[in-house]
Amino acid sequence: MRKQKSKTARGSRFNYARSIMVLILFLAWFTAVPARGQSAHEAKLIAGAKKEGRLVWYTAMAIDTAKPLVDAFEKKNPFVKVDYIRVGTAQMINRVINETLAGKWAFDVVTVLGMDALVKRNIFAPYMSPEREAFVDEFKDSKGLWTGVYHNNVVLAYNTKLVAEKEAPKDYPDLLNAKWKGKIGMDERDYTWYGTLAKVWGREKVDRYMKQLAQLEPQFRRGHALIAQLVAAGELPLGWVYSFRVETMKQDGAPLEWVDTFNPIVVEVGGIGLSAKANNTNAARLFIDFVLSKEGQRVVRGGQRNPRNPSRKDVEPPIARMDQSRLKLKAVPGEVENNLEQYAKEYREMFRIR
């Protein structure tokens, strides 16, 4: 009887130990396998990001787009705190250049218009995010140094109370009609617009066109937003502005519309890139993946009240006529960004801007 009890006890202890071992193996396997829907790439970044706990993002994006992006990312990845610093594009480019020249690399990620201006200074490290496949070639660097996040389309807008739709210029030649003399608003710093047309048309054609346009005495102001306000107020019938700005102002009843038939429509791309000396590499890559994902690009897109142009081709636009697939878009070439001082000089001389 005692032998039977002893044997039974030993069996129970063996079964208990075996159960514990199975449980340990199961837990080890479970924790090693990525969560459902999570790739091995993402799981590795998350593990590293949890150790880093933060990242620093330098951005020139509007605050009403940048903050929702950060909020959405932190909600999805609560183990990472994003410290973001936001200033205008020119100020941000100068800040990045000056800091890095001084040996200071405080940022992990950068987002500005005209990323190629920083590429030539070796600011970025290559990162081939798995999300890049959903972006057209013009909206990403071939070496993986940056990928587009949003883009601003430079379009011709008109005041609908002053200009009938059928009378509005449909393409560049129409803008040279003498009836528009003194009635066209232009940004005094639209150097990338000018440079892109020079690359597309060639020097001879762009010089001939711009000289004819200059004879119409365009009204120069600083900033596309200001020009949009002047056109909406009726102070100018026509003006070169950003399409998203027109759509935003239309929601508030502004008598504005923009022409979608110009060929090409010059596009300023705002990209995102990984610092060449990032302090939080895993968190930075995780953030870049999120910004470029469908989820992140839908945040960039905004809504009817705050429409933006997301650069990812499979994310539907907030407004149908903003769909990039139906517009003849041409992104600002890297050569223009890299030689912007020369194009600026030519532009200001052409239009006699002091």
Q: Do 173 and 187 belong to one domain? A: yes
Regarding whether 254 and 170 lie in a shared domain, the answer is: yes
Q: Does residue 72 sit in the same domain as residue 207?
A: no
212 & 142 share domain: no
Q: Which residue's structure tokens are 């994310």?
A: 315
Residue 139 shares a structural domain with residue 189? no
Query: In this structure, which long-range contacts are made by residues 166-170, counting pairs with CB atoms below 8 Å and at least 24 apart in sequence?
Result: 168/238, 168/257, 168/259, 169/238, 169/259, 170/259, 170/261, 170/262
pLDDT of residue 15: 55
Q: What is the CATH number of the domain that holds 103?
A: 3.40.190.10
Summarize the confidence of residues 72-94 as an average pLDDT: 96
Q: What mean pLDDT is reported for the chain?
A: 91
Q: What is the total count of domains within the chain?
A: 2
**235, 300: one domain:** no
- Average pLDDT of the segment spanning 290-309: 91
Domain assignment of residue 93, given as a range? 40-150+269-320
Q: What is the pTM of this model?
A: 0.84
Same domain, 51 and 72: yes
Residue 351 has pLDDT above 90, yes or no: yes
Task: Supply the angle between the helices 340-350 and 203-214 in degrees, to the nearest 10.
Answer: 40
For residue 32, being part of any structural domain is answered with: no
Q: Token pair of 135, please?
A: 């972006």
Q: Is 124:248 a contact under the CB 8 Å cutoff? A: no
Q: Determine the pLDDT at residue 342.
A: 96
Whether 91 and 225 share a structural domain: no
Tell me: do 139 and 158 sit in the same domain. no
Same structural domain, 113 and 254: no
Q: Are residues 129 and 234 in the same domain?
A: no
State pLDDT tens for residues 218-227.
999 999 999 9
pLDDT at 12: 53
300 domain residue, yes or no: yes
